[in-house]
Amino acid sequence: MPRAAKGSARKEPAVVRAPGRGKYDRGRTPDQREREQRGRLLESAGHVFAERGWADASVEAIVTRAGMSRRTFYEHFDDLRHCLLTFYEGATKRAFKAVELAVEGASPDPTDRLRTGVTGFLGGITMFPHVARVIFRVARSAGPDFEAAHERVMDRFARLVHHGVAAAHAIGRTRLPPDELRVFALVSAMEAVAMRFVLRGEEARALEAAPVLIDMVERAFGAVLADGKPARISDVMPERSP
């Protein structure tokens, strides 16, 4: 058979493939590989926990979905409970940061800031239902290890509400200043409303609760509008089509 002329053979373009199970991309630095592996495992874990719950979740299900090995899993987490706690803490931090940034970007008007904060909180549930299931349902069934993490989350949201009400009171937009017990009750009520939608599998409807939660906060502190009139639920309720 005749030989192909030297140099005439065409080179096929390089194909970039994701590392297979138990393998890794040698072109990345160790730190990059570690972050990528951890991210893939946590993303997979979030879906597994949301779909199976705590009782039926397993390391094998997580690594299979992530296309990684059990050895890699245990390089990042002590056990399944540690993985769930890590996911919970990361997800709640991101959720809080999203709400905080949205509030900071809103107008200085207290009503606008309250509306932005509440809709941001509920909107996260609507946009990321599987994450909401882990935060509000799965994590609670994993035992007392989550109590401390849960308390930190509640305290952070309570401080955000306290700061907002204090700012509103300082310019005469609420009759009552913020107090710890009232703020705690309101934040707990918001959490309970979120849980109601998650437990019913109605995450897509979570934003329907926004007007009620906004009204609840305003009534608790005697909110008044910029013209000095008491705020009413009709001020935050969307107009309905006839």
Q: Is residue 190 part of a domain?
A: yes
Rg of the chain over all Cα atoms, to the nearest angstrom: 24
> For residue 123, is it within any domain?
yes
- Are 153 and 130 members of one domain? yes
State whether 37 and 146 are in the same domain.
no
Q: Which one-letter amino acid corresponds to residue 232? A: R
Q: Is residue 19 part of a domain?
A: no
pLDDT of residue 204: 97
Residues 115 and 229 in one domain: yes
Structural domain of residue 137, as residue ranges? 85-235
Predicted local confidence at residue 125, as pLDDT: 97
pLDDT computed for residue 226 by the predictor: 58
Same domain, 70 and 93: no
CA 95, chain centre distance (Å): 4
Q: Are residues 145 and 222 in the same domain?
A: yes
Whether 67 and 75 have beta carbons less than 8 Å apart is answered as no
The pLDDT tens digits for 68-86 are 999 999 999 999 999 999 9
Percent of the chain with pLDDT over 90: 74
The single-letter DSSP state of residue 136 is I
Q: Which residues pair with 223 in a beta bridge?
A: 174
Backbone CA torsion sign across 180, 142, 60, 132: negative
User: Could you tell me the CATH number of the domain that includes residue 58?
Assistant: 1.10.10.60
Cβ atoms of 214 and 118 within 8 Å: the answer is: yes
We report the CATH number of the domain holding residue 208 as 1.10.357.10
- With respect to residue 5, please indicate whether it lies within any of the assigned structural domains: no
Q: Answer whether residue 12 is part of any domain.
A: no
Do 161 and 59 reside in the same domain of the chain? Answer: no
Number of domains in the chain: 2
Report the predicted TM-score, pTM, of the whole model to 2 decimal places: 0.81
Helix (H, G, I), strand (E, B) or coil at 12: coil
Please name the residue ranges forming H helices in the chain. Answer: 30-56, 59-66, 70-76, 80-105, 110-127, 129-133, 147-170, 180-199, 210-221
Domain membership flag for residue 1: no
What per-residue confidence (pLDDT) applies to 230? 56
Longest dimension (CA), the chain: 96
The confidence score (pLDDT) of residue 23 equals 53
Q: Which segments of the chain have a pLDDT < 50?
A: 1-18, 22, 232-242
